[in-house]
A and B are shown apart, each in its own frame.
Chain A
């Protein structure tokens, strides 16, 4: 016990930074009107500047490197605090779950774009495939947990239609293939009445192994169910994504992304690695699409337009291409910020666009640049 206290004292700065950030985000999720928002932004900006000048972020990174479990426990406790404060705030919880699911989608895109270098401008389409798969299956009384997985499989399957053109093209040409797919996907859904046409489909709420997501969770909001499950999915897929990166597979993807010709000259089978990245990425995207659809309870073609695919790509770029760590704050920014700007109503998209432009000018490589690969803990220490 004494040991724990000593350790906490040792890491005091890092721990406070983590908790202050958590509480800041909580308040951020709760503020509504422009005055509080502006004050909060000013406070946040000042605090950020202050923490950055004292190099406290480095402190946190050192903490994360040196005692992984302590760091994880700390993050977990911070998250728990946030969830306890927000236990009855339906909307804030809804936004947290959305951020978690959008992040999960973007891990899939990170595998495609950041690791294997495949530009996928049809992310929202595969997101939608997952959603539609689960919509059809839940009306058939299929077990929900299997439906979620099927959503992923369906997305991977539909994606296989594009594999041939994607393998043959590169760069902007490959981008066009997926753009074309994204555009035709939405129109196709609208025109075909078998899948609900433009009105879309209704979906029952999630229920697995007797865990009814539609009911209040220990006296809190029913959205807590979704938050917990989405966070679980996000953490698992994040871990998988990182493990992929820190393995021979990630190495192969990096090699072929950077230089196809030299990779081919060293025996790397470009096509099969690209297929793996594309399929796996789409699987993750479809999976979270299915979950998102369950949470929304209703999906329609206009949720999955080309514009939505661009939002997904924006998250990946803004976070720093190829860095799953960057995805989460970027998703938070892209998903929650427009929502927080509701008080300026019709001006919010304009301001949002300008803010993103500023971020990119200030940090041309995205928020966090991808770091060198470390295969396991203690990598590179002699």
Chain B
């Protein structure tokens, strides 16, 4: 970036020539001033141009939604990656100093491609932990491939992101919605529920969940009484829920993320719908419990990977996160972002700052120990998550099903006498 020097010199010599007397004088004063201004300016340009280069640090990119509707998740992910980098920098055994470049994709594909280009084209950034929103990730994988930048998806769940291409650069630590819904459907049918009504948002997230859950449910013999696609910014679900109430399903399956999950759950109560509320990974957040209040009790949801609080590494992560006083919680996918960042850091430590080597290191990852359990990438870079964790809300906390009082039949999901 320091190559402005030559141009500035040329410009300066042009000014020097100018000192020889030529006709036209009205602007001479202005020119002298301009001359000086220009010199100061060129100097500043040099300073600015060169100061932004920080020689020693190795950069890691983070991309996620930091503004807009789902920013809570993005900020949680960003903080988690930040934590991973802080811990790495505090660790004396690490060879490199790491630096975080966090970018906001606004959960919009065009902005996502823009910032992915920014990160990927910057050769000082060695790899990226990228994307919570599936529609964005689907678009940016091409960019990462084009610039040969290794990237690890930390939250987007659409299968197509890893399975829709054969790019060696693309990896994903979290599972896809296929695994999640298969386990969810089997689990619910085994609990004895028979009929479902599905509400899903019309984003790729909601539509995908609707598709895969329905497929699995048919396999295990559950019946879908009705499905309701709603827009992601909808506030009022009374009309849809009134229809559902008439259908009398055992369970309402919700495919979508926290904000409308909260709305659907609270409005269910307003209409006295006794059905069980079953969500997806998108509502596993503290915000869901905060937003829905006591109504959250007994909500079920499923997420790929092991639970952080069940693993020793996970406990460490949560403790460190608390210790660093981030203003907002890591949310459901924070641990995944943390794990992805650690994976990337380990790759750099082992292979040095070389994108190609990092990519091939990542492709060979098998049984890597992380806060979300063991990570093994298949040939598409997809973590073959063996485990889907089932969650239920109990006393204002997301509890792992097996550790909850519901599993022990101390409590019952069925609300006996809804008012």
**A contact residues around B92 at 8 Å (CB):** none
Please report the C-alpha to C-alpha distance between residue A231 and residue B2 in the assembled complex, in whole angstroms.
27
In contact, B24 and A10 (Cβ under 8 angstroms): yes
Any chain B CB within 8 A of the CB of A271?
no
Q: Mark A179-191, 1 if CB is under 8 A from B, else 0.
A: 0000000010011
**Cβ-defined partner of B30 (8 Å) among A40, A54, A299:** A54
Any chain B CB within 8 A of the CB of A81?
yes
Q: Mark B93-117, 1 if CB is under 8 A from A, else 0.
A: 0000000011110011110011101
**A contact residues around B134 at 8 Å (CB):** 199
**B contact residues around A221 at 8 Å (CB):** 121
Stretch at the interface among B199-207, B254-262, B290-298: B199-207
In contact, A296 and B48 (Cβ under 8 angstroms): no
**B contact residues around A199 at 8 Å (CB):** 134-135, 138, 158, 160, 204
Any chain B CB within 8 A of the CB of A43?
yes
Please report the C-alpha to C-alpha distance between residue A89 and residue B1 in the assembled complex, in whole angstroms.
10
In contact, B27 and A13 (Cβ under 8 angstroms): yes
In contact, B48 and A89 (Cβ under 8 angstroms): no
**A contact residues around B142 at 8 Å (CB):** 202, 297-298
Any chain B CB within 8 A of the CB of A35?
yes
In contact, B108 and A40 (Cβ under 8 angstroms): no
Any chain B CB within 8 A of the CB of A91?
yes
In contact, A342 and B51 (Cβ under 8 angstroms): no
- Which B residues between 217 and 268 are near A, CB-CB below 8 angstroms? 229, 231
Q: Given A85-B3, A199-B138, list of 15 further CB < 8 A pairs?
A: A10-B24, A12-B31, A13-B27, A19-B11, A20-B38, A20-B41, A27-B45, A39-B51, A43-B48, A90-B147, A198-B202, A199-B158, A296-B110, A298-B138, A302-B135
Any chain B CB within 8 A of the CB of A30?
yes
**A contact residues around B1 at 8 Å (CB):** 30
Q: Mark A270-311, 1 if CB is under 8 A from B, else 0.
A: 000000000000000000000000001111101100000000
Any chain B CB within 8 A of the CB of A56?
yes
Any chain A CB within 8 A of the CB of B16?
no
- Which A residues between 338 and 375 are near B, CB-CB below 8 angstroms? 339, 342, 345-346, 348-349
Any chain A CB within 8 A of the CB of B33?
yes
**Cβ-defined partner of A348 (8 Å) among B3, B67, B101, B231:** B67
Any chain A CB within 8 A of the CB of B122?
yes
Q: Mark B158-182, 1 if CB is under 8 A from A, else 0.
A: 1010000000000000000000000
In contact, A200 and B138 (Cβ under 8 angstroms): yes
- Residue ranges of A at the interface with B (Cβ–Cβ < 8 Å): 6, 9-10, 12-13, 16, 19-20, 23-24, 27, 30-33, 35-36, 39-40, 43, 47, 50-51, 54-56, 59, 81, 85, 89-91, 94-95, 98, 187, 190-191, 197-200, 202, 221, 296-300, 302-303, 339, 342, 345-346, 348-349
Please report the C-alpha to C-alpha distance between residue A33 and residue B52 in the assembled complex, in whole angstroms.
6
Please report the C-alpha to C-alpha distance between residue A366 and residue B109 in the assembled complex, in whole angstroms.
30
30 sampled A-B residue pairs with Cβ under 8 A: A9-B22, A19-B11, A20-B38, A20-B41, A24-B45, A27-B48, A30-B52, A35-B51, A39-B44, A39-B48, A43-B40, A43-B44, A59-B27, A89-B121, A90-B147, A91-B122, A94-B117, A94-B118, A190-B202, A191-B202, A202-B142, A296-B110, A297-B139, A297-B143, A303-B110, A342-B104, A342-B115, A345-B104, A346-B67, A348-B67
